[in-house]
Amino acid sequence: MGILFNLELVLHQEVMSYE
């Protein structure tokens, strides 16, 4: 579950950068 959590965090950061 650690990797999945990390992936979600990265995805959220990317989305924030896009906006």
pLDDT, residue 1, reads 64
- Two tokens at 5? 């959590």
Q: Is 12 helix (H, G, I), strand (E, B) or coil?
A: helix
Tokens of 7: 């992936």
**Could you give the CA distance from residue 1 to residue 19 in angstroms, rounded to a whole number?**
27
Q: What is the pLDDT of residue 17?
A: 78
pLDDT digits (tens, 9 = 90+) for 1-19: 688 899 999 998 988 777 6
Q: What are the Cα distances from residue 11, in Å, to 8, 14?
A: 5, 5
